[in-house]
Structures are given as C-alpha cells and as structure tokens.
Amino acid sequence: MEATAMAAQRVLKVVGISGELDEASPNRGLVRAAVEICKNSIPGMEMENLDISSLPFLNTDLVVNGTVPPEVEAFRKKIAEADCYFFSSPEYNYSVTGLLKNVIDWGSYPTNVWGDKAAAIVSTGYDFGGGRSQYHLRQMGVRVDIHFINTPEFFLNVLEPPPKFDKKGNLIDKETKKRLREILLALQAFALRLDGNCK
C-alpha cells in the first residue's frame, strides 16, 4: 500500500525544525519547501514550520516548582502532539548547532516528549552537505527515543551547480524538491507503520 493511500486513513501532524535562525539560510529554506510539498502534493501530511527563536538555553534555574517557562511549555506541547518530526540540520564544526542541541534538550527535560516517534533529517553545507551533523543528531535520537528513517538520505552541497536557493533562501531547484518529496514520503510511510496503520 502506497504512503499516499495509507494517509487517507489519517492526517499526520509533522513538526519541521531548522537548526538555523536566519531567514535566508538554506536549512530554513528546506523546511519551508517541505511545508509546501506536504500541502500541495502529499495527502495525509500537514507540516508546521516550528518557530524556536524564543526558546532560552536550557537552564534549570528557569524551572520553578517543576514548571518550565511558557515558551518552553508551548514548544514541548507542539512536540508532544506531533506524529513525527522533520529536522533540517546545518553542520557547524562537524556537529549540530547549539540551537538544535538546545531543542533536543528542552524536549527531554524535565520529561521526554520526543519518545517513540518517527523523524527524518535533511542537511545542507559544503563538501559532504552537512552529513556529519546528521550522524550526531541520530546519536541524540537514540537517547530520546526518536526513530529516524534510514533511507533515502539527503545531503545537499549548496556549492554544486545549478543554484539550489534564491537570495531569500527559498528552494528553487526542481531536482532537490523531488528528492525532498521522496524523504517526506518515506517519513510518512514509516510514521504510519510505527503507529500500526500500515499492515
């Protein structure tokens, strides 16, 4: 049974998270493109581009009587209510950004709201296309019980022609959009299988 046919049984709520904040970054562009692809060509998937710019860095002094700050609670609620996750991870010094690590940490503190959900990772960068950051994110996923799809993989070298993004960071390359859709379909199928909707 194809993922799009299975999705008619249920609409998956996907949370999209970029490891960068600057609006014109390619990783933000990949999340925006994924939102549009879900909306226009993948029945049964709805993705929200989650704003994480207001999250403070994890500091236990901010937790008062077991209560986290309101912006953290709102973030954790979005994570808990999602059916699966879509991460777009830049590579900084062979690893994920501090921003993305902070997102993982707040989602697991004081209790883990990530657990037992499917996820996909895409990345951009030079040479290896951000791939090293993906491996570190997968390691974190083991600890917080996120189940990442294994194939297809998506590493995007932004220096290889043709141009992949416009000056505003929007994805313009048709072949890359096609690859992105394949990742999303794989995520959909895996999430439904984990949920028991795919026999």
Residues 139-163: pLDDT tens digits? Answer: 999 999 999 999 999 999 988 899 9
Cis check for the bond before 56: say yes or no (omega within 30 of 0): no
Q: What are the tokens at 14?
A: 């996907």
Domain 3-195 grouped into CATH 3.40.50.360: yes
Mean pLDDT of 166-184: 97
Q: Is 186 left (phi over 0), alpha (psi -120 to 50) or beta?
A: alpha
Q: How confident is the model at residue 199 (pLDDT cuts 50, 70, 90)?
A: very low
Query: For the chain, which residues make up each domain, given as ranges?
Result: 3-195
Q: What is the average per-residue pLDDT within 14-24?
A: 96
Q: What is the pTM of this model?
A: 0.93
